[in-house]
């Protein structure tokens, strides 16, 4: 269900998030390019910030609905979840980098040992004197 025909709730959230990164002076053009009127977009933005877009609730115009100051807004909760997922991914990748660096160090030491063992060996293999056989 969506608050506007033709756009899903996820698409509306994505458009609102992308709109935030559009440079000042280019926002109206961006809205026109995406086929959204400024009035509709204002309603979407309020719905996304209030966390009501997924429930297809359209905020009332003209009066503010307040959220208690000690409670995070739904958008803040959504962003915190995104940050937590991002931080977990970074921690996982950092762990993998450390593991690969340790492997690289171990391989470097092994290669160094192989080179030092190769230097200690004689240049030519020892020759054995030909044995004379006493058989007829």
How confident is the model over 3-59, as pLDDT tens digits? Answer: 566 777 778 888 888 888 888 888 889 888 988 888 888 887 877 777 666 665 555
Per the CB < 8 A criterion, the answer to whether 47 and 58 are in contact is yes
Please report, rounded to a whole number, the percentage of residues in the chain having pLDDT higher than 70: 68
H or E element: which one contains 13? helix 9-20
Distances (CA, A) of 49 to 105, 110, 118: 49, 57, 68
Indicate the pLDDT class of residue 123, thresholds 50, 70 and 90: low
- In this predicted structure, the answer to whether residue 1 has a pLDDT above a threshold of 50 is no
Indicate the pLDDT class of residue 91, thresholds 50, 70 and 90: very high
Per the CB < 8 A criterion, the answer to whether 90 and 84 are in contact is no
Please report, rounded to a whole number, the percentage of residues in the chain having pLDDT higher than 90: 21
* CA distance linking residue 36 with residue 15, whole number of Å: 10
Mean pLDDT of 112-124: 76
Looking at residue 2, its pLDDT comes to 46
Enumerate the β-bridge partners of residue 7.
Answer: 4
- 66's CB contacts (< 8 A; 6+ apart) are none
Single pTM value for the model: 0.41
Mean pLDDT of 105-114: 92
């Amino acid at each position: 269900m969506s608050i506007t025909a033709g756009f899903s709730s996820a698409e509306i959230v994505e458009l609102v998030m992308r709109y935030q990164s559009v440079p000042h002076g280019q926002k109206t053009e961006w809205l026109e390019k995406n086929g959204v009127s400024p009035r509709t977009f204002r309603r979407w933005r309020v719905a996304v910030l209030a966390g009501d877009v997924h429930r297809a609730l359209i905020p009332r115009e003209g009066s503010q609905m307040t959220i208690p100051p000690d409670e995070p807004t739904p958008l803040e909760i959504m962003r915190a979840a995104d940050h937590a997922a991002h931080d977990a991914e970074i921690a996982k990748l950092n762990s993998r980098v450390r593991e690969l660096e340790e492997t690289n160090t171990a391989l470097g030491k092994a290669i160094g040992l192989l080179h030092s063992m190769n230097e200690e060996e004689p240049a030519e293999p020892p020759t054995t004197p030909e044995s004379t056989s006493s058989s007829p």
